[in-house]
A and B are shown apart, each in its own frame.
Chain A
Amino acid sequence: MLEFDDIQHILLTRTPAITGRYEFLSFDTPAGGRSWLTELLDKVQSATDAQATMDDSDRWVTLAFTWNGLRALGVPEESLATFPGEFREGMAARADILGDTGSCAPEHWVGGLAGDDVHAIAILFSRTDEQCKRSIEEHDKLLARTDGVRSVSYLDLNASPPFNYAHDHFGFRDRLSQPVMKGSGEEPTPGSGAALEPGEFILGYPDEDGPVANLPEPEVLSRNGSYMAYRRLEEHVGAFRDHLRENSDSPEGQELLAAKFMGRWRSGAPLVLAPDKDDPELGADPMRNNDYNYKEMDPFGYACPLGSHARRLNPRDTAHNMNRRRMIRRGATYGPALPEDAPDDGVERGIAAFIICANLIRQFEFAQNVWINDKAFHELGNEHDPICGTQDGMLDFTVPKRPIRKVHKGIPAFTTLKGGAYFFLPGISALRYLASLDS
């Protein structure tokens, strides 16, 4: 039975926020960190709370901590040692494992995210710009009156028009393929696979393999918690559009090439179900837009290339043990939309997302290492994920086609990682436990 009232809402609910801010914080003293946390405790909604007040709420708060942050709050060493090694090391220290090299390496990250002094994140999501402004003001006041806690950096978020569905700056519909947990009250949409054991995403519950050993201690700290891999991914919209124009001879050709990279049309319609032209009605229909497989419906990738983004991140029936590799994605876009036909303006825009899972090595790092940045994925030989893989201009992208495939050479980087971190997302009781730690 899921303890909805003890689980931070971000794990189980999607809020109708269209704006917000991520605040990255540092605790100079344990007491400062705990005062900050104490004041925010009643602002953090559990899943129960968020669901009950969804229509009336204008803002939603989520708090999470790095391993250095837990230490800075005064978590005892013997407890800190029970957290898994990858979380203790942090994302920046594992950049080589993740494939975050070249222009994506931590030395190029912004917002101080590669530093050891990033201790916590406050995710402040809002329904309106007015509310967002109020939340930021309130949080600024909290920082001003609390000694021993300071802002390292922040990132302002905003959805870009049209607002009636979630999409990234390239224009691709998002939130199409999310796993569902048993006991969450949600039903998986057709094609999304059966609901999974909660322990795949939340600590303290059995996972797909049964009971889980070696959780962080004490139990009050780990129960109903989870891990979040934060990724701030700049999207080079101008470069993406230029590449499509230079490599297609018609607007239809550009749309098709964009879809080949992604595995779906911008509308969300999957190439497997709509191989030749977009079908926006299909893209917008959750009962149909995820209802397909690869092994029987597109084994050679004639519709959806073997190395496309969607196929790498969810190979469905063409990979083994998929239920052990699923992740929850949350997040938002940032930066202004680049108008159609406008040249690149040099302004940073992109996606700032959280990948939430119970085991960073087995889920998030596996996806980075074996799916996104593995040249040999599906025997391709010289490719990374064309959308979010690390690209140095030397790699290919193969589009299977009868009678003979088309290999696009020298794929440029359409995105660049600008920062990241591993956070622990405590349950509500664990937040209280952290706030009451005595230094």
Chain B
Amino acid sequence: MTDQDWTKPAAKAIPKEGYFELERGRYGPIFPRTPACYGFSIIAKVKPGREDAVREHGKTIEAAIADSPEFLAPLRLHYLRWLLFDIGDGLTFQYQGIFDTDFDKYTEDAVQLFGQSGLNTVFTNLEGFPEDWKENPDAFVKFVREHHYPSFLEYGEYPYATADEIKKALRLKAAFSTMLDQMQ
């Protein structure tokens, strides 16, 4: 476990394939946990005329979280960053997520979450996304794997710490503060 010491900032350069050694997961190669945890970067073309719909989806997720802060809990996320950009060949969407479950479980949980909640996934605005994703979760998984661009460098200032561990540490700090207050 020495390579997973959170006190020592760590960087890792990752081969082009996105993994060091081919290890098979349930749906394909396992993308490894790095000092910046698990994650993915989905990059795909936006269907023509869908920019507003994609941006609107940002507000939908904002409202869903405000209404139910635990809404995305199954995904065990640290951070999500959604970007739209055009570098000359049409509008492109980037979905960058950093999380603590493995890649395949994240995707499965995401299909489930968005399918069940009635919230459509933002992916429906992307070219090549399977129309029947709700009935055909395997096609969703395939789309995600085909549009994932693995990082070639990842860095963690507090490497390998999970969101749960960080929250535990913050709760502990809060509890200590409360304890000290009570002792005044």
Contacts and interface: CB of A to CB of B under 8 A. Distances in A.
Interface of A: 86, 94, 96-97, 209-214, 320-321, 324, 361-362, 365-366, 369-370, 376, 379, 381-382
B116 A209 contact: yes
B165 A379 contact: yes
Interface string B18-39: 0000011111000000000000
A328 to B, nearest CB: 20
Contacts of A365: 26
A320 B135 contact: no
A214 B162 contact: no
Contact of A210 (B26, B102, B134, B138): B134
Given A209-B115, A209-B116, A382-B1, A97 B138 contact: no
Contacts of B66: none
Interface of B: 1, 23-27, 73-74, 100-102, 105, 108-109, 112, 115-116, 132, 134-138, 162, 164-165
A210 B135 contact: yes
Q: Which of A212, A320, A369 has the most CB of B within 10 A?
A: A320
B26 A366 contact: yes
Contacts of B138: 214
A348 B182 CA distance: 60
Contact of B135 (A97, A213, A321, A381): A213
A320 B116 contact: no
Contact of A97 (B24, B101, B105): B24
B134 A320 contact: no
A180 to B, nearest CB: 21
Nearest to B138: A214
Contacts of B24: 94, 96-97
Contacts of A369: 25-26
B99 to A, nearest CB: 12
B166 to A, nearest CB: 11
A209 B165 CA distance: 32
Contacts of B105: 366, 370
B27 A320 contact: no
Contact of A321 (B74, B100, B102, B165): B74
A211 B135 contact: yes
A361 B138 CA distance: 10
